[in-house]
A and B are shown apart, each in its own frame.
Chain A
Amino acid sequence: MADLIGETKALQASVAPEGAVISWFNIKGYLIPTLSLLLFGIAWELFAYLSAISQVLLPPPSASLVRLVEMMGPGDGSAPSYLMLRHIGATLVGLLVGFIAAALVSSAVGLLMGLNKTIYEWLNPIISLFMVIPTVAIVPVIILWSGLGMKTVIIIVALGACFPIIFTAAAGVQSIPKKMIWAAQTAGANRQQILFTVVIPATMPYLITGHKLALGRAWRAVLAGEIFASTAYGIGFMIYDARTFLDTQAMFAGLIIVGILGLVLQSLFFRYIEKSTIERWGVVSQKDI
C-alpha cells in the first residue's frame, strides 16, 4: 500500500508542474495552425515573385497586408478616411441586423411548427423548397423589389439565415420526450408555462445549432448581397468595386478580412452561449431519453 502511494507521488512529481504540461499542450494547439498559415503565406509570396503570373493579377500577400493596414488607417485624403473600417462596419451591420431579424422571426415560426402538426405539415413543403434555392439566386429579384442599398442587403441576409433556424427549431420541439411534458403538466403547468419552462429550454441545443448554421449562411449572404446591391460600403462591395480599378491588392486585402472575420464569427460567437447552456447542462454528451 505504501509502495502504491510512493509510486503515485513519484508519478505526480514526474508530470509535476501541472500548469507547464497544460500550457505546453496549448502552445502545441496553436503552433501547428500558425506554422501552417505562415508556410502557406510564404509559399504564396514566393510564387507571386517567381511565377510568370503578373503581380497585378496575383499580388504577393505582403503587399496586400501593407495595403490592408493602409486602408485601416486615416489614409492620405484620396479616399474616405478609415475606409476599411467603414467597409467592415457596413458589413457587420448588414450581417447582424439581418441575422437578428431572421433569428427572432424564424425561432418563433420554427417553435410553432414544432408545436402544431398542421402548421408543420403545411409549411414544411414550402420551406423545403426555399431551402434548396441558394440565396444568391434570389438576389436579383430582391434588388428589383427593394432597389440597391443596405436595406436590400439586410433582406438578403435575413432570407439566407432564416431556413436553418426554422428547421432546427421545429425538429428540436418534436424531439422533446412527451413524458417530460407530462411531468410538467402533472406539476400543474399550463400551456404557456410549458412553453417557457420546458419547450424553449429543451429546444436550446437545437436552436444553438440552427443559429450557428444560419450565421454561416448569413455570412455568405451578406457578401453576395453587397457585391450585387451595395452602393458605397461593405467588404463585398469593396472587393467588387476594386475589380473595376484592377486594384488586386485591395481585393486580396478584402479577402483576408473576410477570412479572419469568418473564422471569428464561426468559432468565437457561439462559444459563450454553448458554455453557459448546453455544456453546463450536459446535454451535449447525454444519452437520448
Chain B
Amino acid sequence: MQTHSKQPIKISVNNVTKTFGHGTGNAVTAIDGFNLEIRDGELISLLGPSGCGKSTFLYLIGGFEKITEGEILLDGVPITGPGSNRGVVFQEYVLFPWQTVARNIEYGLRLNNTPKEQRVARVKELVRMIGLEGFEDVYPFTLSGGMQQRVSIARAMAYDPDVMLMDEPFGALDAQTRNKMLVDLIGIHEKTHKTILFVTHSVEEAVMISDRVCLFSSRPSKVKEIIEIEIEHPRSVTDDRFVTYQKRLIDGLAEKDVGGQSDA
C-alpha cells in the first residue's frame, strides 16, 4: 500500500487532452488538461460518474485512442499505440469464441512464438491462478460470466505485461461473483505486483481493492482528488475506516466540480 509511494513512476500523464471529432463543428472534449502519476506496482482505481471519460482515459493509456494534446509516458517512453507491455480486460470479456479456454489464454504467447512447453506451463499456472482447472478445453460460451472474465484476465496476464488496464471488469457480474473476483484480484496483485488501473463507478469496489483512488470530475475529465486508502488487506466493508473512506469518496463525487465545468 503506502510503500508504493517510494516506488518509481510507472506511468506519467502530462497535460493530456482528448477531443473527439477534433476540428469539426461538434467536437466533444472528454478529457481536459489531465495530469496523473502512477507508481510502479500500485493498484489505482479510476472512479467517476458514468460518461465522465474514465474509460476514454484508460483507452488512451492502452493506445487504442489517440491523444489530442499532451503526452503519456510509460517507463519514460511516450505511448503511441497498443503494445504487449499492457494487458487489457473489458467489462464485456471479448474472449475469442472460436478458441478454447486454453487457446484464449495462450493467444499472446502464440503471437510471440513462445515454445510449446513454456506455453503449456504458463497456461497451467494461469488456469490454476484463476481457479478453472478442468475447463481448459471448453469453449467460452459454456462458461458463466464470472468464469469468462477470469479467462479474460488470464489472457491479459499470459504474456506478463507490466501494466493491467481493467475497464469496469466486474460491472456485468452479480454481487456475489463480483466480491469473489475482487478478493481474487487483490490476491493476484499481491502475488504479481503488477501496476493495475481499475476503472469503476462503484465506490465500494474502489475502497475494497485500491492503494489509491483517483476521483474524476464529470466531462471534460480532470483529476478531482486522489485519495490513498490506508487500510490493510483483507478489508471489510463493516470496518469503520472503510465506511469513512466510502463516505469521503461519495462526498467527493457529489461535490461541485472545481472550475465550473460541471455543465456536462
Seen from chain A, the residues whose Cβ lies within 8 Å of a Cβ on chain B are 177-180, 182-189, 193, 197-198, 201-202, 204, 277, 280-283, 285-286, 289
Which chain B positions have C-beta within 8 A of A204?
Answer: 98
Cα distance A277–B140 in the bound complex, in angstroms: 14
* Contact flags B67-102 to A (C-beta < 8 A → 1, else 0): 000000000000001111011101011101110000
Which chain B positions have C-beta within 8 A of A286?
Answer: 97, 141
Cα distance A183–B161 in the bound complex, in angstroms: 13
Cα distance A177–B64 in the bound complex, in angstroms: 13
Contact A186 B141 (CB under 8 A): no
Contact B108 A188 (CB under 8 A): yes
Sampled A-B contacts (18; CB under 8 Å): A177-B92, A178-B64, A179-B90, A179-B92, A182-B62, A183-B88, A183-B94, A184-B107, A185-B82, A186-B88, A186-B165, A187-B84, A187-B107, A187-B111, A187-B155, A187-B158, A201-B96, A286-B141
Q: Which of these, B62, B97, B108, B155, contacts A281 with CB under 8 Å?
A: B97
5 smallest A-B Cβ distances: which pairs?
A282-B141, A187-B108, A188-B84, A185-B82, A201-B98
Known: A183-B94, A186-B161, A187-B155. 20 other contacts (CB 8 A): A178-B64, A179-B92, A182-B82, A183-B90, A183-B152, A185-B64, A186-B83, A186-B87, A187-B107, A187-B158, A187-B159, A188-B108, A188-B111, A188-B112, A198-B96, A202-B98, A282-B140, A282-B141, A286-B97, A289-B92
Size bin of chain B's contact surface: 20 to 34
Name which residue of chain A comes closest to B152, CB basis.
A183
Which chain A positions have C-beta within 8 A of B90?
Answer: 179, 182-183
Q: Chain A's nearest CB lies how many Å from the CB of B59?
A: 8
Contact B155 A183 (CB under 8 A): yes
Cα distance A121–B82 in the bound complex, in angstroms: 28
Contact B156 A186 (CB under 8 A): yes
Q: For chains A and B in complex, what number of residue pairs have CB atoms within 8 angstroms?
A: 81
B20 interface residue per 8 A CB criterion: no
Q: Chain A's nearest CB lies how many Å from the CB of B187?
A: 23
Contact A277 B83 (CB under 8 A): no
Contact A281 B94 (CB under 8 A): no
Which chain B positions have C-beta within 8 A of A186?
Answer: 62, 82-84, 86-88, 156, 161, 165
Q: Chain A's nearest CB lies how many Å from the CB of B144?
A: 13
B135 interface residue per 8 A CB criterion: no
B142 interface residue per 8 A CB criterion: yes
Which chain B positions have C-beta within 8 A of A185?
Answer: 63-64, 81-82
Which chain A positions have C-beta within 8 A of B111?
Answer: 187-189, 193, 197
Which chain B positions have C-beta within 8 A of A183?
Answer: 88, 90, 94, 152, 155-156
Cα distance A289–B59 in the bound complex, in angstroms: 18
Contact A283 B88 (CB under 8 A): no
